[in-house]
Amino acid sequence: MKKIFIIISSLILSCQSENKSVDEVIKSNNIDLIKLKRKEITNKQQEIYKKINLIDVKLNELENNSKNPIVSTVKIVEKSFKHYIELQGDVKSDKIISIYPEFSGIINKLYVKAGDNVNEGQVLATIDDGGLTQQLSQLKITYNLVKTTYERQERLWDQKIGSEIQYLESKSMFEAQSQAIEQLTKQLEKTIIKAPFSGIIDNVVVKKGEVVYPGRSNLMLLVNMEEMYIESKVPENYINSVTKGKEITIEAPILNISLKSKINLVSNYINPLNRTYRIEASIPENNYKIKPNLNVKIKVNDYTNKKAILILLNYINIDSNNDQYVYKIINKDGEDYASKTIIKTGRNNGDFIEVINGLNVNDEIVSEGARKLTNNSIVKIINN
């Protein structure tokens, strides 16, 4: 009975091992399950080794039956080639401000909350004016009397009636009262907090009833999400390649976004500390996913050749003279020869490299099997 139980347990563990990934098995902390998973992987590994050995035996058999090395080849064709310089950039905006009051007092009304869209000049909050409205009303009453007196004295003075001193006194009182009203009106305007530009209220710091002070109390953060740009620091060795008007690609991998733009500003100053200069590029469209201070990647197309000769980097060998070379196939008297051909290369994109001298369109070069070759050796070509 005990043996039957052990067999059933082993079968259950085996099923669990097959149905679970390595990570899941490790996280289970079940030592029997982990051992079983290891055995399962080891068995699969041994099966793969057997298959590789069978393939190696067949390859050796074929190569031994042929007196010539077996190679694979590719033909050279023209392709369009673009090379890019990759830079790091940050999303910036000149319209991100923390709004501070210009008047001391108690916040008596808040008209917005975080996330609200606001227009330029829209009222965001008001501060208790501490009785300035009543003072202004009193000043206006006095102003009306002084104005009437001044206008009457002015008419009399125009008719040469009355003394000049009476006219000048009434004029002086009128002007003083006008200036007092103007100054008090400006003070009252400071109790009304308005949006300096259109944007989104990102955060409201202040609360209704709080006392605020000029230059000390942060009320809220206003962000304009439509007038953002990319800023990047460019190494000085790209000064002839990364220039104003150059087309660029802006990539935000974390958002899976790619945008086309142009460099619209190139700084005339090179930072002596890091030998870089600053560039800016506008963001052509914004769906509110791209946000200020986001890190992005900038790709600048510094070189384009519509008729380039491109080969994979792993086709290239380097000899003792540090020369780059490939094996070019030359057919002579019905035999294929692998001729060592020195080449000159240009830019690469990580996988392909441009050959600027040594190869022509329709040339056939060795892509696999070059390690066994010597110059002008006869080869057997097998292509898939």
Give the pLDDT of the chain (384 residues) as one tens digit per residue: 434 434 445 544 555 555 667 777 777 777 777 778 788 888 888 888 778 877 866 666 565 555 678 889 999 999 999 888 999 999 998 888 899 998 899 999 999 999 899 999 999 999 988 887 888 788 888 888 888 877 777 787 777 777 777 778 788 888 888 888 888 888 888 888 999 999 899 999 999 989 999 988 899 999 988 788 999 999 999 999 899 998 899 998 888 888 899 999 999 999 999 999 999 998 876 666 888 889 999 999 888 899 999 999 999 999 888 999 999 999 988 889 999 999 999 998 888 999 999 999 999 999 988 888 889 888 888 876
Q: What is the pLDDT of residue 183?
A: 85
Short-list 222, 185, 193, 188, CA closest to 126: 193
Distance CA 346, CA 191 (A): 66
Residues 154 and 147 sit within 8 Å (Cβ to Cβ): no
Q: What is the pLDDT of residue 257?
A: 86
Distance CA 222, CA 203 (A): 8
Q: What is the pLDDT of residue 307?
A: 92
In sequence order, the β-bridge partners of residue 202 are none
Beta strands 211-212 and 247-252: pairing type?
Answer: unpaired
Short-list 363, 353, 358, CA closest to 76: 363
> Would the pTM of this model clear 0.75, i.e. be above it?
no
Burial of 352 by CB count in 10 Å (0-12 exposed, 13-18 middle, 19+ buried)? middle
Q: What is the pLDDT of residue 215?
A: 84
Q: What is the pLDDT of residue 5?
A: 38
Q: What is the pLDDT of residue 19?
A: 60
Q: What is the pLDDT of residue 60?
A: 63
